[in-house]
Amino acid sequence: MARTQGSHSQFTGPKVRDAALRLFAQHGFAAVSMRQIAAEVGVQAGALYNYTPDKQTLLFDLMQEHMDDLLAAWCAEDPGGADPFTRLEAFTRFHIRFNTKRADAVFVSYMELRNLTPDNFETVTALRGAYETRLQDILTAGTTQGVFTVAEPRITAMAVIALLTGVNTWYREEGRLTLDEVETLYWNMVRRMVGG
Partner DNA sequence: GTCTATAATGGGATAGAC
Partner DNA sequence: GTCTATCCCATTATAGAC
- Residues 90-119 touching a copy of itself, rule: CB under 8 A, are 111, 114-115
Separation of alpha carbons 182 and 184, rounded Å: 5
User: Using the rule CB under 8 A, is 178 a contact of a copy of itself?
Assistant: no
User: How many C-alpha atoms does 36 have within 13 Å on its Cβ side?
Assistant: 16
Binding window for a copy of itself (CB under 8 A); candidates: 59-67, 81-89, 137-145, 185-193: 185-193
* N-term to C-term CA, the chain: 63
Write the DSSP string, 67-95: HHHHHHHHHHH--TTS-HHHHHHHHHHHH
CB 108 within 8 A of CB 178: no
Q: Does 165 bind a copy of itself (CB under 8 A)?
A: yes
Q: Which does 189 bind (CB under 5 to 8 A by kind): a copy of itself, DNA, none?
A: a copy of itself
Instruction: Tell me how crowded residue 95 is: count the other CB atoms within 10 A of its CB.
Output: 23
Query: Where on the chain is the footprint of DNA (CB under 7 A)?
Result: 4-9, 12, 32-36, 38, 42-47, 49-51, 53-56
**CA 44, chain centre distance (Å):** 30
Q: Shortest distance, CB of residue 152 to a copy of itself, whole angstroms?
A: 6
Minimum CB distance to DNA smaller for 31 or for 189 = 31
Residues that bind a copy of itself (CB under 8 A): 26-31, 111, 114-115, 151-152, 155-156, 158-159, 161-163, 165-166, 169-170, 185-186, 188-189, 192-193, 195
